[in-house]
């Protein structure tokens, strides 16, 4: 697990600023949905786990008295601070932390959110349990991420291109797998909705500073993909494609 953490820190420190300007990360219906889910709640303290460049923290900041943005990568936390400063957001504080061992007391937060981070969790079952531990009774846990494909062969292709692009990738989990993990942590589970995000191949690889030889390998995989994979990922002739995503809600009794 320490190797995965080291890879995450090494890779994302170098490209952190790319994620602050990323269209995919800066917008999206799921980002709006975080605010909608918190709007009718009395949220004093919210936690953004794996905050990245801070887009989710900024989105939920209007619905909480204070937001703690946690990431294991210092460069990402710097981007979060810069993003909030640009937008005049003053109720977000950053802190280095690992989702597998959150540095907070039990039942500390009213809400926990995480977006496009969970596919890096080396032990997602433990991570979800940690979120349950630091969440107050009656609190809400919201997770949004790329999801795995139900067809095994299609999913193997998806995991392969993800890993070629980013060696710190662990897995895109399927909807049933997330349901099992969220319910196993004693949350009441709900799939809020699912969708696909459009990805520009050039931007997708440039954002992660993928080496040219690996870009070539991914392009070759796309060119050789079978009809099932092409349909599942909506691969176009220019290699632009779509990734399946879902937003899950866990409620702590």
Q: Most distant CA pair in the chain: distance in Å?
A: 51
CA distances from 198 to 85, 156, 161 (A): 29, 20, 16
Check whether 231 has a pLDDT greater than 60: yes
Check whether 156 has a pLDDT greater than 70: yes
Query: Over the stretch 93-126, which tens digit does the pLDDT of each residue have?
Result: 999 999 999 999 999 999 999 999 999 999 999 9
Q: What pLDDT score does 86 carry?
A: 95
Q: What pLDDT score does 116 carry?
A: 97
Q: What pLDDT score does 7 carry?
A: 73
Local structure of residue 86 (DSSP, 8 states): H
Using an 8 Å Cβ cutoff, are 158 and 147 in contact?
no
Domain architecture of the chain: domains with CATH: 2-149+169-197+244-252 (3.40.50.150)
Check whether 1 has a pLDDT greater than 70: no
Beta strands 241-252 and 187-199, pairing class: antiparallel
Using an 8 Å Cβ cutoff, are 207 and 18 in contact?
yes
**Residue 112 φ then ψ, to 5°:** -130, 130
Q: Which two tokens stand for residue 94?
A: 């950053």
Q: What pLDDT score does 195 carry?
A: 97
Q: Which of 60, 67, 74 minimizes the C-alpha distance to 16?
A: 74
3-state secondary structure 143-188: EEEECCCCCHHHHHHHHHHHHHHCCCCCCCCCHHHHHHHHHHCCEE
Question: Measured between alpha carbons, how far is 159 from 46 in angstroms, rounded to an integer?
Answer: 31
Question: Measured between alpha carbons, how far is 185 from 153 in angstroms, rounded to an integer?
Answer: 29
What's the whole-model pTM score? 0.95
- In percent, how much of the chain has pLDDT > 70? 98
Q: What pLDDT score does 2 carry?
A: 61
Neighbours of 247 (CB within 10 A): 23
Local structure of residue 67 (DSSP, 8 states): E
Query: Over the stretch 77-93, which tens digit does the pLDDT of each residue have?
Result: 999 999 999 999 999 99
Residue 247 is inside which H or E element, if any?
strand 241-252
Average pLDDT score over the chain: 95
Question: Measured between alpha carbons, how far is 52 from 66 in angstroms, rounded to an integer?
Answer: 18
Query: Over the stretch 164-218, which tens digit does the pLDDT of each residue have?
Result: 999 999 999 999 999 999 999 999 999 999 999 999 999 999 999 999 999 999 9
CA distances from 208 to 15, 31, 118, 162, 244 (A): 6, 21, 17, 11, 19
């Amino acid at each position: 697990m320490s190797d995965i953490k080291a890879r995450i820190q090494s890779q994302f420190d170098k490209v952190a600023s790319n994620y602050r300007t990323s269209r995919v990360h800066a917008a999206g219906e799921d980002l709006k949905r975080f605010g909608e889910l918190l709007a009718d709640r009395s949220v004093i303290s919210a936690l953004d786990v794996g905050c990245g460049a801070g887009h989710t923290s900024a989105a939920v900041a209007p619905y909480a008295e204070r937001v703690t943005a946690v990431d294991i990568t210092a460069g990402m936390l710097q981007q979060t601070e810069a993003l909030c400063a640009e937008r005049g957001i003053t109720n977000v504080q950053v802190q280095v932390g690992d989702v597998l061992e959150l540095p907070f007391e039990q039942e500390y937060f009213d809400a926990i959110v995480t977006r496009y981070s969970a596919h890096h969790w080396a032990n997602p079952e433990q991570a979800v349990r940690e979120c349950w531990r630091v969440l107050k009774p009656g609190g809400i846990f919201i997770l949004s991420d790329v999801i795995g494909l139900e067809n095994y062969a299609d999913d193997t292709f998806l995991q392969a291109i993800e890993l070629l692009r980013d060696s710190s990738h662990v897995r895109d989990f399927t909807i049933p797998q997330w349901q099992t993990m969220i319910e196993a942590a004693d949350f009441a589970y709900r799939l809020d909705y699912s969708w696909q995000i459009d990805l520009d191949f050039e931007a997708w690889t440039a954002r992660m500073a993928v080496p040219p030889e690996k870009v070539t390998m991914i392009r070759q995989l796309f060119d050789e993909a079978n009809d099932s994979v092409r349909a599942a990922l909506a691969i176009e002739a220019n290699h632009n494609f779509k990734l399946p995503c879902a937003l899950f809600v866990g409620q702590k009794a």
